[in-house]
Amino acid sequence: MKIKKYFIFTLVLFLFGCEEKSIPVLESSEVNNNAQIEQLEMVNEQLKNQISEMEKKNDEEKEALRTTMNLAFHLFTAINNKDFDYITSISSSNVQVDVEESMINSTNYSYKINDMEYLLENLEYRFYELKNDTLIIGFANYFFEGHSTIYFGFIKQNGQWLFDYIVTDA
């Protein structure tokens, strides 16, 4: 009987002596996981904001290209028709149109409007370059002897894209 009491006493003492050490570890792990979740949520929000900013910039760039491309095609038509009023109406203050000489003068370039007709089927879009509020569009003009490149420069003033220059390599 003494052995039985001794055994029960030892067993009870052993059971009371045992601690559940995994519970604090789980609580610590849960706190750590919650901190990681909060950090990941913050990173996720920052990435969402970056995506929104990039999409906005991309949309603005698309709109700038669409607008200036339309202006360029209208300019080709105006040059073909020698419509100096239209050219003047969409030009920046850097552009002077000399009707008598059939010249388009800008700060750095001069372009003589000759009798060469720009046919849209002979034009090939080459590139665009957007930097801040300036945009350059390049076209190739193919003709029997070869081709030349036409550069249209546009500038954004007061939220509106305006023709700033034209230059060719021919």
Res. 26: pLDDT tops 70: no
Ramachandran area for residue 159 (φ above 0: left; ψ -120 to 50: alpha; else beta): left
Q: What is the pTM of this model?
A: 0.71
Tens digit of pLDDT for each residue in 113-150? 876 677 777 889 999 999 989 999 999 988 888 888 99
State the burial class of residue 55 (Cβ atoms within 10 Å of its Cβ: 0-12, 13-18, 19+): exposed
Distances (CA, A) of 66 to 29, 70, 145: 54, 6, 31
Cβ(153)–Cβ(165) under 8 Å?
Answer: yes
Are the C-beta atoms of residues 96 and 102 closer than 8 Å to each other? no
Please give the CATH topology (third level) of the domain spanning 23-168. Nuclear Transport Factor 2; Chain: A, (3.10.450)
Question: Is the predicted pLDDT of residue 25 greater than 70, yes or no?
Answer: no
- Report, as an integer, the average pLDDT of 31-41: 86
Mean pLDDT, rounded, for 49-59: 91
Domain boundaries of the chain, sorted by first residue: 23-168
Reported confidence tier of residue 24, pLDDT bands at 50, 70, 90: low
Are 75 and 89 in contact by the 8 Å Cβ rule? The answer is no
- Residue 90 pLDDT > 90, yes or no? yes
What is the arithmetic mean of pLDDT over 93-115?
85
